[in-house]
Copies of this chain bind each other. A is one copy, B any other.
Amino acid sequence: MTLGKVVGTVVATRKEATLDGLKFMVVRAVDPEGRETGGHVVAADAVGAGPGEMVLIATGSSARQTVATQNRPCDAVIMAIVDSWEIGGVDKYRKD
């Protein structure tokens, strides 16, 4: 999985029918220090994530192993909202 920060949303009305109801978020990748790396991905939201939240992203076929994304043409999913992480015992991020 990769760490990321939700920064935006994508609207698409013309799409594969099975995608109806899925929410697509723009997520910027962050490194273990919490810095944005410059990378990004558009991910389906399986957990009700909102702008500014730190999340975990699963990609590939694993992105289809959620109730929201099963059997859909979706290759990236937000499957968890991050509360905190630590590196070497030092908090690098903690949700307010």
Contacts and interface: CB of A to CB of B under 8 A. Distances in A.
A77 B19 CA distance: 13
Copies of this chain, whole number: 5
A9 B93 CA distance: 11
Interface of A: 1-3, 7-16, 18-19, 24, 26, 28, 31-32, 40-44, 46-48, 51, 56, 58-67, 69, 71-77, 79-89, 92
28 contacts: A1-B43, A1-B75, A3-B42, A8-B88, A10-B56, A10-B85, A12-B80, A12-B81, A12-B83, A13-B81, A14-B80, A15-B81, A16-B47, A16-B65, A16-B80, A18-B65, A26-B87, A28-B32, A32-B40, A51-B88, A62-B63, A62-B64, A62-B74, A62-B75, A63-B73, A63-B75, A66-B73, A73-B77
